[in-house]
Amino acid sequence: MSAPVRIARVIARLNVGGPAIHVVHLTEKLAEAGFESVLYAGSLGADEADMGYLATAAGIQVVSIPPLQREIRPWADLQALWQLFRHFRRTRPQIVHTHTFKAGALGRVAARLAGVPLVFHTFHGHVFHGYYSPYLSRVIVWVEWFLALLTTRIVTISQALKQDLVGYHIAPADKIVVVPLGFDLQPFAQNSSLRGQLHQELKLSADVPLVGIVGRLVSVKNQALFLEMARKLLDSGYNGNFVVVGGGELLANLQEQTTQLGMTERVHFLGWRQDLPRIYADLDVAVNTSVNEGTPVALIEAMAAGVGVVATAVGGVPDVITHGETGWLAESGNAEQLVSGVCAALAKPPASLHKAQQHVLAVYDVQRLVADIASLYRQFL
């Protein structure tokens, strides 16, 4: 390709989470493969933390589409659609690639109205259950089926997620491509010099075990189950503490639950953090309790840091964790199985943690992600 191929990449918002990291990496690194990317992003919700600093650090100037928001607001959504359409008509990208539900809906329609020849959409997870009422969830499935008709190829981040989309009849299997996520995991793999700092911050002895959970404090992440598990673990004789990393709309509820369970001295709410390699350096076990999950970024980061992982076997989690080998899985909502997993992880020898670490460093490397996406684009160009 003699001249750079123009790409418009659209995401609803650069809030804390895997999708924000993903789009920043692709926008930055695809330039080396002959692509010229522009990143469009909407507005954060009131309880969301901003990951725009990643784009700034990468030298990416994000084009802001303020009406593009998480909530369904017809007038604002129409404004966002109009603004995206105008941008695409003016800049004439050869490819529009959208990420997350709202951006996927408005971005794909705007791209087709603007005559963009190639339109891709990445499902980082789905909102077909666990987010909205049954009626609204069915409407979303119908909308995604229609949007799939406008899409050159749908990208999913795991095989399990692809199977979900086929099961919901969003698109036929041959229209869906699996491209695992990719990250710069070296800061997690090389964090040994940071060990002990979190214990000092929490005023804990260095030998106190720490079990933690990292993520947005929202219902789909189900941190209430983590606290239930924590109480059972303490009752079984666990002599360590717990950390909850993240913020969100359920913070007050979770703090109240902690008080009711009599664990205020053992559970530490750390809020949003940008120093996650430092957090993982002191964790003995990282837990994920989601009821619905695409690819669990926090678990991948934990495994890269050599931390044992325990998670509910939902969505794309089993694609990341092999039970008993690279981590432990539990049924969704089953606190007892989570306790068993944490106990097993605490007793696991370092060699198994090293195996899990090497697995994620190989499979979820950012350069592999860029090569896969570049190959997909060239197939259709």
What's the pLDDT tens digit per position in 243-266?
999 998 999 999 999 999 999 999
Whether residues 220 and 166 share a domain: the answer is: no
Range of the structural domain that residue 89 is part of = 5-182+365-380
Which CATH number belongs to the domain containing residue 12 in this structure? 3.40.50.2000
Q: Please name which of 320, 317, 303, 289 lies closest in space to residue 354, comparing C-alpha atoms.
A: 303
Identify whether the C-beta of residue 48 lies closer than 8 Å to the C-beta of residue 15. Answer: yes
Whether residues 143 and 225 share a domain: the answer is: no
Whether residues 332 and 345 share a domain: the answer is: yes
Identify whether the C-beta of residue 7 lies closer than 8 Å to the C-beta of residue 36. Answer: yes
Q: What is the pLDDT of residue 130?
A: 63
Q: Which residue bears the tokens 């954060």?
A: 44
Identify whether the C-beta of residue 339 lies closer than 8 Å to the C-beta of residue 232. Answer: yes
* Cα-based distances in Å from 123 to 97, 193, 320, 361: 11, 36, 17, 22
Which helix (DSSP H) or strand (DSSP E) does residue 173 occupy?
none
pLDDT tens digit sequence for 263-303 = 999 999 999 998 999 999 999 999 999 998 878 999 999 99
Tell me the mean pLDDT in the region 364-381.
95
Banded pLDDT at 46 (limits 50, 70, 90): confident
Phi, psi of 120 (to 5 degrees): -120, 155
Q: What is the pLDDT of residue 49?
A: 80
- The total number of structural domains that make up the chain: 2
Q: What is the pLDDT of residue 268?
A: 98
Whether residues 197 and 341 share a domain: the answer is: yes
Banded pLDDT at 2 (limits 50, 70, 90): low
Per-residue b/e over 40-65, b at no fewer than 16 CB within 10 Å? bbbbbeeebbebbebbeeeebebbeb
* 1 pLDDT above the threshold of 70: no
Per-residue b/e over 219-233, b at no fewer than 16 CB within 10 Å? bbbbbbbbbbbbbbb
Whether residues 298 and 270 share a domain: the answer is: yes
Tell me the mean pLDDT in the region 137-163.
93
Q: What is the pLDDT of residue 131?
A: 66
Whether residues 276 and 373 share a domain: the answer is: no
Tell me the mean pLDDT in the region 358-377.
94
**Three-state SS at 120:** strand
Whether residues 216 and 356 share a domain: the answer is: yes
Whether residues 146 and 270 share a domain: the answer is: no
**Three-state SS at 69:** coil
* 241 pLDDT above the threshold of 90: yes
Whether residues 48 and 120 share a domain: the answer is: yes
Whether residues 230 and 340 share a domain: the answer is: yes
Our CA dihedral for 316, 33, 276, 317, rounded to 10 degrees, sits at 10
Tell me the mean pLDDT in the region 68-95.
95
Q: What is the pLDDT of residue 304?
A: 96
pLDDT tens digit sequence for 320-365 = 999 999 999 999 999 999 999 999 999 987 777 888 999 999 999 9
Whether residues 14 and 133 share a domain: the answer is: yes
Percent of the chain scoring above 70 in pLDDT: 99
* 70 pLDDT above the threshold of 80: yes
Whether residues 28 and 132 share a domain: the answer is: yes
Q: What is the pLDDT of residue 211?
A: 98
The gap from C-alpha 361 to its chain's centroid, in whole angstroms, comes to 17
Angle between helices 223-235 and 251-260 (to 10 degrees): 20
Tell me the mean pLDDT in the region 69-76.
89
